[in-house]
Amino acid sequence: MAIVLPRPIERSSLVIRTVKVHGHRTSVRLEPNMWDSMIEISRREFCTPDDVCSYVAERKPPHGSLTSSLRVFILDYFRQSSTEDGHMSAGHGQNMFMSQQQDRWLMRDIRTRRTTARFRTD
């Protein structure tokens, strides 16, 4: 009979912070990148993360979660504020994914050569 060991406790990558939505404290769990993005929005809009949360809370669907609405808002904010100039200055659109694809092709080619070399019967 096999012994089954308990799985190690995995920690969530979500960060819990307390924010004020119209003066009422509530907890929000977001990924660290989402918190960084909200702080960046606050900096750009000259407001606080609490202001951003209050703004989103006013506009979220009646039965929707604040956390989900914040994620959608953050994504929409940066999508709407992106331009071709910003895209280029960030280094996007310069075949950044093609080099990764070429690396994968090279690795596949190397593996294929190793495999065929092992099974040669010259």
Q: Please write the tens of the pLDDT for every residue from 8-59.
A: 655 669 999 999 999 999 999 999 999 999 999 999 999 999 999 999 999 9
Distances (CA, A) of 58 to 55, 65, 77, 86, 104: 5, 12, 16, 30, 46
Confirm or reject CATH 1.10.3990.20 for domain 15-81, answering yes or no: yes
Q: For residues 42 and 50, give the distance between their C-alpha atoms in angstroms, rounded to a whole number.
A: 9
Q: Please write the tens of the pLDDT for every residue from 94-115.
A: 655 556 666 667 777 776 776 6
83: confidence class by pLDDT, cuts 50, 70, 90: confident
Neighbours of 13 (CB within 10 A): 10
